[in-house]
Amino acid sequence: MLPRAGVPGAQEFSECLFAFVPEYHVDAALELGNTLRLYLHPTVPLHQLPGVPGAQEFSECLFAFVPEYHVDAALELGNTLRLYLHPTVPLHQLPEVPGAQEFSECLFAFVPEYHVDAALELGNTLWLYLHPTVPLHQLPEWEDLVVSCAAFLCAEFADPRIVLASTRESLVQTLASFATQPATMRAIERVPVKQQMSMVRELVRPYQARAWAQSNWVLVRFWHGSGFGFRHRQWPHLAAKYGDREPTVNNLGAKVDAGLMSQCFGPCPSEVIQGRFREYLAAHPKEAAAFLNSLLSQLNWAFSEFITMMQEMDRVAVDAQLESRQIKLCATCFDLYHGLARALEMTLCLAPSLLTKPEASDKQNELLLGRTCQILMAVISRVCVRGGGGSAFARLVARGLPDTDRVHYYVALAPVAGCLVRVLDPKLPADHLDKVTKALVSEPLFRIDGLDFMVGKGRDRFSFYKYPEDVSLEEMAALEEVVSRLRGAKEAAARTASPPSSGAQSDLLCTICYARPADTAFVPCGHHSCRSCILQHLLNSKQCFFCKAEIDSVKEIEPNN
């Protein structure tokens, strides 16, 4: 890589050419250390040999292996630029002639993908080629090398100049692997703030029209260890049944495959990166609102797909008649739901004002608050309440089908409990707590018996109290306080509620959700619905969802006296 400013000297130019070294030369160099170790007598320490090159000398030695056409191309560059310019235009006076840094960044788009793949595999290769009695972290300059790799990943893992899908996938998988080990997580924390913010900006980009599953998993890794009952390595219900197991990946630098949350890794949260997320969400209200809206959309999609497949499987009484593909898809949707729900928990913890302050969410706080309450109550209703779909969930858990061992009450409800505890934290302002409480209890899907399900103490039913090693007493006390607060608010709302509407008035219910009155109309077509459904629709489309006419504005419908 060329220096940040100035024309490169001989040393910098030599280091720049390292990127073009053929891979077989690098392989030969990697084999050298192992070969020397094998041929030397075991009593002769390798580091005491005279003339063993260091990092700088090794880089300079590799210059001898650079293909000649790379050097010729570099030498011809200046002459080529001069020939293409008008003779009256001095080259050094051009305002847009790139400097060393810009020129280096331009050349990045032309790097062959196998060079990037080789760099990504370097950490794992070093680990495999070293003697098992030599700790990798004790090697000189090892920490600086890992930080350098982490900086490259943070800055380039979603670079738009990378057009090859497999290379983009390799980069994000390697970043995910860096987020699974404490040593490499600390390296990410030591990366310069500019590269950290570049990573954060890409991770919170709206999820529509891009591959979001891996990047969401990276988000969850930064949160793993800080969420509600989220300090386990193995799912608590499986650990209680089968015992704990070792992490899926042990080698530093090994790529994390697309198994997502089904793989088990120990928690290693990063408060530093969480702070970077908090800073970015606070400084960019428009982007923060777009990210939270897309996160809620994907969460709603994943949970709806899971419920649909679960109900289809519930209609098949004989397990042998179920297709394995259908079972795997159902389990995958549940994995995606859990990962998205944990990302929502982190977002609500780091930026709770997105739900209540217009200036923090580009004036979309009302819609985001309604959507958040809707999805949280939908999960509780579908999982906990027998009449709302909880019976089918209970039967799926009891059937013990292959690949569905992760489908359990703990995995489904822990992130929901975490979201409720975060948005109703007593440390938040009183007006925030009042708005969130009112929105939750006024949600049509709100069920107090579903909340009681999570804190029940009966032996024959699920309860977070059955997992004292995973859910702390402080977390349970906070959840009990939330349930008590919502129960009191619901009872107060019931005492002040107006009498039930007549049949004629019930005809004015929103035909989208059938839960709220149709009090808002589209202009100019005049079709009406409830304000919540209309605001949610306008985020994604500017056409009436009845007649497809273009919407100019919306207006409230005056109630009939």
Mean pLDDT of 29-42: 58
Q: Coil, strand, or helix at residue 165?
A: helix
- pLDDT at residue 57, rounded to an integer: 55
pLDDT of residue 252: 46
Provide the pLDDT confidence category of residue 250 given band limits of 50, 70 and 90: very low
The DSSP line for 220-273 is HHHHTTTSTT---SS-HHHHHHH-----S--STTPPP-TTGGGS-------HHH
The pLDDT, as a whole number, for residue 133 is 75
pLDDT tops 90 at residue 88: no
For residues 340 and 493, which has the higher predicted lDDT (pLDDT)?
Answer: 340
- Rounded average pLDDT over 481-500: 85
pLDDT in tens, 232-249: 878 888 876 766 655 544
- What residues have CB less than 8 Å from 32, skipping those under 6 apart? none
What is the mean pLDDT of the segment spanning 540-561?
A: 77
| pTM: predicted TM-score of the whole model, two decimal places | 0.75
Report the pLDDT value the prediction gives residue 148, as an integer from 0 to 100: 87
* Helix, strand, or coil (residue 60): helix
Segment 353-376 mean pLDDT? 92
16 or 195: which leads in pLDDT? 195
* Residue-level pLDDT at 499: 57
- Amino acid identity of residue 454, one-letter, is M
Q: Is the pLDDT of residue 2 over 60?
A: no
The per-residue pLDDT for range 148-194, each reduced to its tens digit, is 888 988 988 878 888 787 888 888 888 888 888 888 899 999 999 99
Locus of tokens 């692997």 = 177
Q: Assign 310 a pLDDT band (cuts: 50, 70, 90).
A: very high
> What pLDDT is recorded for position 105?
61
Work out the average pLDDT over 326-354.
Answer: 95
Q: What is the DSSP letter of 553?
A: E
> Is a pLDDT exceeding 70 seen at residue 452?
yes
Average pLDDT value for the chain? 79
The answer on pLDDT for 356 being more than 80 is yes
**Stretch(es) of the chain classified as CATH 3.30.40.10:** 503-556
DSSP state of 99: -
Residue 561's pLDDT is 46
pLDDT at position 285: 95
Q: Are the beta carbons of 82 and 91 closer than 8 angstroms? A: yes
* pLDDT tens, residue by residue, 188-213: 999 999 999 999 999 999 887 777 88
DSSP 308-348: HHHHHHHT---GGGS-HHHHHHHHHHHHHHHHHHHHHHHHH
What mean pLDDT do residues 409-433 have? Answer: 96
For 199, residues 6+ apart whose C-beta sits below 8 A from its C-beta are 153, 154, 155, 157, 175
What are 378-409's pLDDT values in tens digits?
999 999 988 777 889 999 999 888 888 889 99
Pick the CATH number of 503-556 from 3.40.50.720, 3.30.40.10, 3.30.365.10, 3.40.50.150: 3.30.40.10
Q: Is the pLDDT of residue 541 over 90?
A: no
Percent of the chain topping pLDDT 70: 70
Task: In whole angstroms, give the CA distance from residue 351 to residue 192.
Answer: 23
What pLDDT band is residue 282 in, cutting at 50, 70 and 90? Answer: very high
Of 278-282, 301-305, 317-321, 353-357, least confident by mean pLDDT is 317-321
What is the reported pLDDT for 14? 54
Confidence tier at 25 by pLDDT (50, 70, 90):
low
Residue 92: pLDDT band (50, 70, 90) is: low
Pairing of the two strands 528-529 and 520-523:
antiparallel
Token pair for residue 393? 């969930």
For residue 253, is pLDDT > 90?
Answer: no
Give 44's pLDDT tier (boundaries 50, 70, 90).
low
